[in-house]
Structure 1
Amino acid sequence: MSLTTDSALEIKVKKSTERISENMHIVANEPSLAFYRLQEHVRKAINPMVDRRVEVSKLRQELQGRCYDIDYAVQAIKAMNKAEDSFKNIQDILKNAIFLKQQLKYEESRRKKPESNSVYKRLSTHITLDLPELPELSDVVRETANRVESMMSKATH
């Protein structure tokens, strides 16, 4: 009988250990426990993940702004290259204007004659000297000579 009791006892022990193991497996894998573990993991991981996401979003916006700045700078440089011809034209026109101004100054300096040799001054001196001394007439002659002289100087300038 000891053999049958031992084999019966062995069967009962095996069944009980299987049930204990099965219960442990059920308790360990129970859905509420699994949800608790998930909640615990999410609570620990969500804040750093949100912080990283906000940081990535800010960096994306900054990068996009800098890309716009670079595009603007590239367009400005391309526009400067196109303006090179205009600047060369301006430079040529300025050189030409300076040259013409120098020519005008040279011509003016060549044409200037001393005012004492003016024909109208000489004429007015002769007119006043040759006329008899009539006070009314000499004043009119002087005034007329001065007017003619001023008109001629305005016309030459």
Structure 2
Amino acid sequence: GEEAGVTDKFTESMYVLANEPSVALYRLQEHVRRSLPELAQHKSDMQSWEEQSQGAIYTVEYACSAIKSMTDSSVYFKSIDSLLKHAIAMKDQLNAAQGRSTVAPQAKNPPGSS
């Protein structure tokens, strides 16, 4: 009787040991099945975040190049500014010269004074 009990225990132990890996695999499979949708969601979130950040980087680079070209063109604006000042000064000189050479025209009688 006792020998049969030992044999049963041994058989049971063998059965448990034999099935342990498949139980572990089953648990693993369950875990994967539960967590896969969440992982997929994370992956798609990461991809869209990456796309957004690429877009933002592009926008910033574009803005930087625009600012750089504006900075580079400030030379031309300064040059235009000095040319305008020079032209205004020359116009003032011409006006002064004309004022000296010709008698200022008489002011006409304002309307309604006659």
- TM bucket normalised to smaller: 0.7 to 0.9
Give unpaired runs (5+ residues) of structure 1: 1-8, 117-157
SS of structure 2 residue aligned to 1:29: helix
Structure 2 counterpart of 1:68, one-letter code: Y
Residue 81 of structure 1: CA displacement?
A: 2.5
TM superposition shift of 1:10: 4.4
Question: Does residue 101 of structure 1 match 2:91?
Answer: yes
The normalised TM-score by structure 1 is 0.58
Report how many residues are paired.
106
* Larger Rg over CA atoms: 1
**Equivalent position SS for 1:47:** helix
Q: Could you tell me which residue of structure 2 aligns to residue 29 of structure 1? A: 21
**2:12 corresponding residue in structure 1:** 20
Determine helix, strand or coil for the equivalent of 1:113.
coil
Please give the per-residue CA displacement for 1:46-89, whole angstroms capped at 9, x wherever unaligned. Answer: 11111111111111011001111111122122212221221111
Highest RCO, 1 vs 2 (Cα 8 Å, sep ≥ 6): 1
Aligned counterparts, 1:38-57, within 5 A: 38-57=28-47
Structure 1 residue 114: Cα displacement: 6.0
CA, structure 1 residues 100+43, in 2 after alignment: closer, same or farther (shift >3 Å)?
same
Distance 2:95 2:54 in 1: 59
TM-score normalised by structure 2 residue count: 0.76
Shift of 1:92: 0.7
**Closer, same or farther in 2 for the Cα pair 1:94/1:12, shift >3 Å?**
same
* CA-CA distance at 1:102 after TM superposition: 0.7
CA distance in 2, matches of 1:72, 1:38: 49
Deviations 1:90-132 (A, max 9, x none): 111011011011112112212222679xxxxxxxxxxxxxxxx
Distance 1:10 1:18 in 2: 12
- Larger displacement relative to structure 2 (9-18 or 98-107): 9-18
Q: CA deviation at 1:35?
A: 5.5
- Name the aligned partner's letter for residue 21 of structure 1: S
